[in-house]
Amino acid sequence: MTERSQIATSFLPLPGSAPVEWVIEPGLTSYPDALAFMEARAEAIRSGAAGEMVWLVEHPPLYTAGTSARIEDLIDPDRFPVFAAGRGGEYTYHGPGQRVAYVMLDLKRRREDVRAFVAALEQWIIATLAAFNVRGERREDRVGVWVVRPDRPALPDGTPAEDKVAAIGIRLRRWVSFHGIAINVEPDLGHFSGIVPCGVSDHGVTSLVDLGLPVTMADLDLALKAAFEDVFGPAAVPAAEPARKVG
């Protein structure tokens, strides 16, 4: 099987396609409202009633469980609300200071290739981090984007310490994607201690601010949009904001 690092990551749409709607949600968005909106929007995209969309949000502190989540990885179940996400993956944390990008794209108009789509999402994150001179790396045995930490003690087997800076969890329904990515800008990293993030206990979690970079959410959003367009094609802020129920 071809390694993800060797997969072509271009996911440009068919010629003549409308730009992807690029929406930045103010404030904190409740997770149940986000799920309901994504479900409805994905169905509208599939039926042709709505266009593709990237929705940038922040959530209040919470944990989500993917379809592969193991109950033993939920270390502190009473710390924050826990939601079944329906996406791939295991447990993850969302909260203030973390940018979540929900990616609702019609892969029938792009490429019907799940592994390549995951690789494309990783490439999007890697290119975004590069705008801040951060070297994000993918790993074949674990999804997400990682940074090597030479300032930390090596692992017992001698390999360098690594921290996760961004997570990926997606779902496809009739080739329309939803859920997406999460990049740690300045969340409370202590909040990750209530779970085994993504089922990986050998490595830690970091953020751009933890890496010593005074990056704001607005800075990240600009870099995200530029990198997205390189991989997925044009994106535009809609003239009229779509109606969304948010808490």
DSSP 154-203: PPTTSPPPEEEEEEEEEEEETTEEEEEEEEESS--GGGGGGB-GGG--SS
Classify residue 125: in a domain, yes or no: yes
pLDDT greater than 70 at residue 23: yes
Non-local CB neighbours of 239 within 8 Å, separated by 6+ positions? none
Burial class (CB in 10 A: 0-12, 13-18, 19+), 191: buried
Classify residue 27: in a domain, yes or no: yes
The annotation places the binding site at: 87-94, 167-169, 180-182
Nearest-angstrom CA–CA distance, 171 and 85: 10
Tens-place pLDDT, residues 177-198: 999 999 999 999 999 999 887 6
Classify residue 148: in a domain, yes or no: yes
Phi-psi bin for 205: left (phi > 0), alpha (psi -120 to 50), beta? beta
Nearest-angstrom CA–CA distance, 244 and 236: 18
Residue in 198, 215, 224, 231 annotated catalytic: 198
Non-local CB neighbours of 223 within 8 Å, separated by 6+ positions? 128, 131, 132
Tens-place pLDDT, residues 113-132: 999 999 999 999 999 999 99
The answer to whether 7 is a known catalytic residue is: no
Q: Which two tokens stand for residue 21?
A: 């709607």
Classify residue 139: in a domain, yes or no: yes
Q: Which two tokens stand for residue 41?
A: 């929007």
Q: Which helix (H) or strand (E) holds 64?
A: strand 62-65
Residue numbers of the domain that contains 216? 18-236
Classify residue 109: in a domain, yes or no: yes
Say whether 235 sits in a helix, a strand or coil.
strand
Reported confidence tier of residue 245, pLDDT bands at 50, 70, 90 = very low
Q: Which two tokens stand for residue 69?
A: 């989540």
Q: What is the pTM of this model?
A: 0.93
- Checking DSSP bridges between strand 20-24 and strand 235-236, what pairing results, if any? parallel
Classify residue 9: in a domain, yes or no: no
One-letter identity of residue 30 = S
When pLDDT is averaged across residues 212-231 and rounded to a whole number, the result is 97
Q: How many domains, in total, are found in the chain? A: 1
Classify residue 203: in a domain, yes or no: yes
- Specify the range with the lowest mean pLDDT, choosing from 41-55, 152-166, 204-218: 152-166
Sheet holding 82-84, edge to edge: 82-84, 62-65, 91-94
When pLDDT is averaged across residues 16-34 and rounded to a whole number, the result is 97
Maximum average pLDDT range among 4-13, 183-192, 236-245: 183-192
pLDDT at 246 (0 to 100): 44
Non-local CB neighbours of 113 within 8 Å, separated by 6+ positions? 107
Q: Residue 90 sits in a domain of what CATH number?
A: 3.30.930.10
More confidently predicted of 203 and 106:
106
Q: For the chain, give the mean pLDDT.
A: 92
Which residue from 97, 76, 74, 99 is spatially nearest to 84, judged by alpha carbons? 74
Classify residue 247: in a domain, yes or no: no
pLDDT at 89 (0 to 100): 85
The phi, psi pair for 75, rounded to 5°, reads -75, -40
The annotation places the binding site for substrate at: 87-94, 167-169, 180-182
Burial class (CB in 10 A: 0-12, 13-18, 19+), 80: middle
Nearest-angstrom CA–CA distance, 174 and 14: 18
pLDDT at 247 (0 to 100): 39
Nearest-angstrom CA–CA distance, 210 and 229: 27
